[in-house]
Amino acid sequence: MTARNLFLSLVGAFCILIPNLSSAAASLTILDQASPFNSVSINQGGNFTVDINVSTTTEQISGFSYLLTISALGSGSFSLTSRDIAGAPYTASDFTFNNASVFSGSNATLDPTNNNDLGATLASPLAAGSYFLARFVISSLPSVPLGAYTVSFNAASVFDQDFNEITPLTTGTYTVNVVPEPKTWFMLALGLTVIVLFRRRQTT
């Protein structure tokens, strides 16, 4: 390969890379307002609070769309209880589905996904950057099995100023650990102690 051909090849490769280096990207995250570990431990029947945030690198934001889902073993055992957008850069009039629809009947149940889009179409596009979108309280049933569950996004999209979907889109997850109440641990420990003492008594 001549020096000229090598130069032209390098120029062509550089031109191909330029769009990729400047390509848009967006992310949706689920954050814990109190814990830096992005996880929470609750008792059966307990609830927890998460914040939804969006960020883009270069594109303006004209809207967003998403559902929330729980890992399969928790299907039907968790429900959205409330949605608060105080401090968000949009109003309830921008919602795709208002709260009356989102929290009506079984619509709010994560089974394993809630029924209504939790997104919004904004009256005015937001400049590229990071924004708080909503705060959700999610409750569990008293009968939810003990264990770890993952809350994640489903059918998520973020739209630019021309209402085109911004890609690539990365999405975060959140871990919920359902643990026994302290009195349950006490009863288990007491029961084991009684069994051990009974067996010792039998062997003496």
Region 11-29: what's the mean pLDDT?
57
Q: Could you report the per-residue pLDDT of 107-142, keeping only the tens digit for each?
A: 999 999 999 999 999 999 999 999 999 999 999 999
* 137 in a structural domain: yes
d(CA 108, CA 175): 19
Mean pLDDT over each residue of the chain, to the nearest integer: 86
Asked if residue 171 has pLDDT above 90, the reply is yes
> Which CATH number does the domain housing residue 32 bear?
2.60.40.680
Question: Which domain range does residue 89 map to?
Answer: 24-203
Asked if residue 192 has pLDDT above 90, the reply is no
Assigned token pair, 161: 């100023």
Region 77-90: what's the mean pLDDT?
98
* 18 in a structural domain: no
Which 8-state DSSP code applies to residue 108? G
d(CA 89, CA 180): 39
> How many structural domains compose the chain?
1
The closest alpha carbon to 150, from 34, 68, 84, belongs to: 68
* 155 in a structural domain: yes
